[in-house]
């Protein structure tokens, strides 16, 4: 069994999404000794934006397809995913490999994977919030992975830019959600 961990936050040791991906992978590996953990830091080793020559390199999709569980750190930048994460997604959403088009519409081909996404957002974008319509992080990732045939699981840390107390509360809440993943 292989766990692929992706981090896309630019804030390094101050990253809330990295705090959550650390906790998730620690919990997964503790529960499943012997799991292979592959870590890809999309900031330390960024992928180039997709071009036709880049598209020919299959190493990223091969790594994705070889993993049983994918853990993604996804901070919200300007209402959506960081460009580093988008460059990775562009490499794994490939017709004929992770989805196919049919006469009845697209069909995802990757339904046998577990995808866990650690979201961190500076404000509050949940249902009923004043900024709900600005939320394009969770909705985008749900759409992309759903298109590939996977229903992702999410843990959340919201309001981390509101102030130090809310940041601490958001991290604590996200870590509680991590623990609940094992339940």
Rounded Cα distance between 167 and 155, Å, is 15
- Report CA-CA distances (Å) from 14 to 4, 11, 97, 120, 122: 22, 5, 36, 12, 13
Q: What is the mean pLDDT of residues 136-163?
A: 97
Q: What is the mean pLDDT of residues 35-63?
A: 93
Q: Indicate the pLDDT class of residue 53, thresholds 50, 70 and 90.
A: confident
Contacts of 7 (CB under 8 A, 6+ apart): 15, 17, 18, 21, 39, 40, 41, 42, 43, 73
Q: What percent of the chain has a predicted confidence (pLDDT) above 70?
A: 99
Rounded Cα distance between 62 and 74, Å, is 21
Q: What is the mean pLDDT of residues 95-119?
A: 96
- DSSP assigned state of 47: P
- How high is the pLDDT of residue 47? 96
User: Would the CA dihedral through 89, 90, 96, 100 be positive or negative?
Assistant: positive
In contact, 125 and 132? CB cutoff 8 Å: yes
Specify the DSSP element, H or E, that contains 164.
helix 164-181
- How high is the pLDDT of residue 54? 83
Domain limits for position 21: 2-181
Number of domains in the chain: 1
Q: What is the mean pLDDT of residues 91-97?
A: 96
In this predicted structure, the answer to whether residue 183 has a pLDDT above a threshold of 80 is no
**Residue 177 backbone phi and psi in degrees, to 5:** -65, -35
* Global pTM value: 0.95
In the predicted model, what is the mean pLDDT of the chain?
Answer: 95
Q: What percent of the chain has a predicted confidence (pLDDT) above 90?
A: 90
Q: What is the mean pLDDT of residues 135-161?
A: 97
Q: Determine the distance from the C-alpha atom of residue 169 to the mean position of all C-alpha atoms in its chain, rounded to a whole number.
A: 21
User: Which CATH number does the domain housing residue 161 bear?
Assistant: 3.40.50.360
């Amino acid at each position: 069994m292989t766990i692929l961990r992706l981090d896309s936050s630019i804030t390094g040791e101050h990253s809330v999404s990295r705090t959550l991906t650390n906790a998730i992978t620690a919990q997964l590996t503790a529960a499943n000794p012997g799991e292979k953990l592959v870590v890809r830091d999309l900031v330390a080793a960024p992928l180039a934006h997709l071009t036709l020559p880049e598209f020919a390199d299959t190493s990223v999709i091969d790594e994705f397809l070889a993993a049983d569980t994918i853990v993604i750190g996804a901070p919200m930048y300007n209402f959506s995913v960081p460009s580093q994460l988008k460059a990775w997604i562009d490499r794994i959403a490939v017709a004929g490999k992770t989805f196919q088009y049919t006469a009845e519409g697209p069909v995802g081909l990757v339904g046998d994977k577990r995808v866990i996404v650690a979201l961190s957002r500076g404000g509050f974008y949940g249902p009923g919030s004043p900024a709900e319509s600005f939320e394009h992080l969770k909705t985008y990732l749900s759409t992309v992975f759903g298109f590939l045939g996977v229903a992702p699981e999410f843990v959340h840390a919201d309001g981390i830019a509101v102030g130090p107390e809310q940041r601490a509360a958001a991290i604590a809440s996200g870590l509680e959600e991590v623990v609940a993943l094992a339940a």
